[in-house]
Amino acid sequence: MTRPTEHEVLAAVLQIRCGALQVLAWQRARPPDSGRWALPGGLLGDDEDVERSVRRQLAEKVDVREVTHVEQIAVFSRPDRVPGTRRIATAFLGLVPSDADPAVPADTAWHPLAAPPATALEKAAFDHAAIVDDARDRLRAKLSYTNLGFALAPREFTISALRDLYAAALGHPVSATNLQRVLTRRRVLEPTGAMAPPGPAGGRPAALFRFTERTLRVTDAFAVLRPPGEGARTAVP
Amino acid sequence: MTRPTEHEVLAAVLQIRCGALQVLAWQRARPPDSGRWALPGGLLGDDEDVERSVRRQLAEKVDVREVTHVEQIAVFSRPDRVPGTRRIATAFLGLVPSDADPAVPADTAWHPLAAPPATALEKAAFDHAAIVDDARDRLRAKLSYTNLGFALAPREFTISALRDLYAAALGHPVSATNLQRVLTRRRVLEPTGAMAPPGPAGGRPAALFRFTERTLRVTDAFAVLRPPGEGARTAVP
DNA sequence: GCAAAAGTGTTCATTGTACACCCATGA
DNA sequence: TCATGGGTGTACAATGAACACTTTTGC
């Protein structure tokens, strides 16, 4: 009755590299859209759900242990989104910490998501550019009201390193002073006790911090409309 | 290579009825899961994407013009989620204003989402109970930081009527005083100028309000991490 | 000593909550 | 006049932004 349909999973794997938000993509060697960049992914297997599938497919590109967060973004289902057999895609956001440098296949590389003239994205295959846009928007939103930063940052880091990560991901400057205060007040960060040596130009040595948790948690319960009797925002003793 | 797979769309259509959050569902007459409640939906057509499909399928159950908001929730793809041919579902949240009473087929009815002992949901077919839970959670979250209330409320309403809607949707008491102040401060509500007559028990006549917009808008940009120079939360002159 | 980088203290505007109090209507 | 529901005013705590100032290092 309905024509044959395939189901694929696609992942926009993001990482902060060289101070810029970058996405992992491979260059298509064969038509359609040959020469363009495409997101890693592939057909859903018979015995797996989409979450399992995307992790399996990613394992072929990067060491899975490097992927600190995976999250469903949306379904892309326009009938003409790829030529040939109809193919429905479930898109995911994946995150890799900035200190990881996983080995990738020869056709695969990181590409900056330059903000206004998305040069790399102009060459994206099919609707993959839209998927990357959605993934980036999701990351930006969740950085603000969850502890998702843990997925972008190394295990231990200085506040200014973290500030650079946030600034690169959000696309605007971030104040180290306020970032530190806000994240510690929310109990998202904690000091490790250790210090990082100053750089060649001198300066006071920086304290090292870590994320208190490494699983996603909403830290800024949304503003209005909480049950009565909870005082202000986060009921913290 | 991969076994045949179908793709369906399913909608958790929610409405506040009789002061309770209810979901539209129909009773299955045939196996599998015969007798249980199922969400409206059906197979994706060849020439439509999932958004179009869910609106088309809903049109068979309720007047589409009554559905004020439709939004993708997630993909449900466990290989064994339905018996027989593999079927992947894209789940949606749909909202109907509380003053609408659309005609529905004989096998279809509204079912309260009683909070702790989800009696109606115990009888849900397949994984539809989980879909309803996700849809409800999404609604609750978005009520707090967007103007999504417009999709649940009539065109015009009193503040106490709106308070009842929010309380039913959120599952906890809401103060009419603060609800009014917060929503007007965010420019989400505006007075129509008209008044509602008092009830039989007397009391001061209530002012009527409306939502300033009837399309989804984020009204509470998340707390921290905005670009510098924007003052506090919502930069309003 | 001086520049550079890190961190703390303080002030301020805005927000949401809580609660007291005033208004308008029907009986 | 009184109960009932509607609406406003005010005080308070928490939050994030901004910015001045202090601390600690290399040269």
Residues of A with Cβ-Cβ distance to B90 under 8 angstroms:
75, 77
Instruction: Measure, in angstroms, how far nucleotide C24 C1' is from residue B203 CA.
Output: 7
The band of A115, judged by pLDDT with boundaries at 50, 70 and 90, is: low
User: Are B124 and B153 within one domain?
Assistant: no
Domain count across chain A: 2
User: Are A61 and A157 within one domain?
Assistant: no
pLDDT, residue A8, reads 96
Kindly state the average pLDDT of the residues A162-166: 95
User: Are B66 and B96 within one domain?
Assistant: yes
pLDDT, residue B232, reads 44
Cβ atoms A162, A206 nearer than 8 A: no
Percent of chain A topping pLDDT 90: 62
Instruction: Measure, in angstroms, how far nucleotide D4 C1' is from residue B83 CA.
Output: 57
- Give the C-alpha distances (Å, rounded to integers) separating B10 from A7, B30, B96: 17, 18, 16
pLDDT, residue B234, reads 40
pLDDT, residue B106, reads 87
Cβ B30 to strand D below 7 Å: no
Cβ B198 to strand D below 7 Å: yes
The values of phi and psi at residue B136, to 5°, are -65, -45
CA distance A15 to chain B (A): 19
Protein-proximal nucleotides of chain C (any atom < 7 Å from a CB): 3-9, 13-20, 23-27
Name which of A99, A83, A86 is nearest A33 in CA terms.
A83
User: Are B96 and B14 within one domain?
Assistant: yes
User: Are A38 and A123 within one domain?
Assistant: yes
pLDDT, residue A225, reads 55
Best mutation target, B177, B224, B226, B233, to test chain A (most A CBs within 10 A): B224
CA distance B101 to chain A (A): 27
Of A68, A103, A129, the one marking the end of a domain is A129
Residues of B with Cβ-Cβ distance to A147 under 8 angstroms:
none
Domain CATH for B170 = 1.10.10.10
Nucleotide nearest to A227 (CA to C1'): C17
Residue A64 clears pLDDT 90, i.e. is over it:
no
Q: Token pair of B127, please?
A: 């994984």
Footprint of strand C, using CB within 7 A? Answer: A 158-160, 176-177, 180, 198-199, 201-207, 223-226, 228-232; B 175, 177-178, 181-182, 185-186, 197-198, 200, 202-205, 220, 231-234, 236
Residue B140, in any domain of the structure? no
User: Are B97 and B199 within one domain?
Assistant: no
Scanning every residue of chain B, which has its alpha carbon at the shortest distance from the alpha carbon of A227?
B172
pLDDT, residue B2, reads 72
pLDDT, residue A184, reads 93
Residues of B with Cβ-Cβ distance to A174 under 8 angstroms:
225
User: Are A20 and A119 within one domain?
Assistant: yes
What's the Rg (C-alpha) of chain B? 20
CA distance B65 to chain A (A): 23
Between residues A11 and A27, which one has the greater pLDDT? A11
User: Are A155 and A192 within one domain?
Assistant: yes
Kindly state the average pLDDT of the residues A141-149: 91
Instruction: Measure, in angstroms, how far nucleotide D11 C1' is from residue A43 CA.
Output: 61
Could you write out the DSSP letters of every residue in B115-180?
Answer: SSS-HHHHTB-TTHHHHHHHHHHHHHHHHHHBSGGGGTS-SSEEHHHHHHHHHHHHTS---HHHHH
Between residues B192 and A229, which one has the greater pLDDT? B192
pLDDT, residue B235, reads 33
User: Are B202 and B113 within one domain?
Assistant: no
Taking the C-alpha atoms of residue A148 and residue A218, their distance in angstroms, rounded to an integer, is 9
Residue A164 clears pLDDT 60, i.e. is over it:
yes
Q: Token pair of A24, please?
A: 């992992």
User: Are B34 and B104 within one domain?
Assistant: yes
pLDDT, residue B22, reads 95
Cβ A184 to strand D below 7 Å: no
Taking the C-alpha atoms of residue B14 and residue B22, their distance in angstroms, rounded to an integer, is 6
Protein-proximal nucleotides of chain D (any atom < 7 Å from a CB): 3-9, 13-20, 23-27
Of A85, A102, A129, the one marking the end of a domain is A129
CA distance B92 to chain A (A): 11
User: Are A9 and A120 within one domain?
Assistant: yes
Cβ A202 to strand D below 7 Å: yes
- Give the C-alpha distances (Å, rounded to integers) separating B37 from A34, B3, B26, B41, B47: 47, 28, 5, 12, 29
Domain CATH for A110 = 3.90.79.10
pLDDT, residue A237, reads 27
pLDDT, residue B15, reads 97
Residue A70, in any domain of the structure? yes
Residue B112, in any domain of the structure? yes
Residue B225 to residue A74, Cβ atoms within 8 A: no
pLDDT, residue B231, reads 45
Residue A92 clears pLDDT 80, i.e. is over it:
yes
Residues of B with Cβ-Cβ distance to A86 under 8 angstroms:
46
pLDDT, residue A228, reads 56
Give the structural domain span for A198.
Answer: 146-237
0.85 surpassed by pTM = yes
Cβ atoms A89, A81 nearer than 8 A: yes
Residue A67, in any domain of the structure? yes
pLDDT, residue A224, reads 53
pLDDT, residue B221, reads 65
Instruction: Measure, in angstroms, how far nucleotide C11 C1' is from residue B101 CA.
Output: 54
User: Are A12 and A115 within one domain?
Assistant: yes
Residue A232 clears pLDDT 80, i.e. is over it:
no
Scanning every residue of chain B, which has its alpha carbon at the shortest distance from the alpha carbon of A72?
B74
pLDDT, residue B201, reads 77
Residue B134, in any domain of the structure? no
Instruction: Give pLDDT < 50 ranges for chain B.
Output: 117, 231-237
Residue A139, in any domain of the structure? no
The band of A73, judged by pLDDT with boundaries at 50, 70 and 90, is: very high
Residues of B with Cβ-Cβ distance to A92 under 8 angstroms:
none
Taking the C-alpha atoms of residue B106 and residue A176, their distance in angstroms, rounded to an integer, is 61
Give all strands (DSSP E) within A49-188, no chain letters. Answer: 69-76, 86-95, 108-112, 157-158
Residue A232, in any domain of the structure? yes
Of B96, B129, B162, the one marking the end of a domain is B129
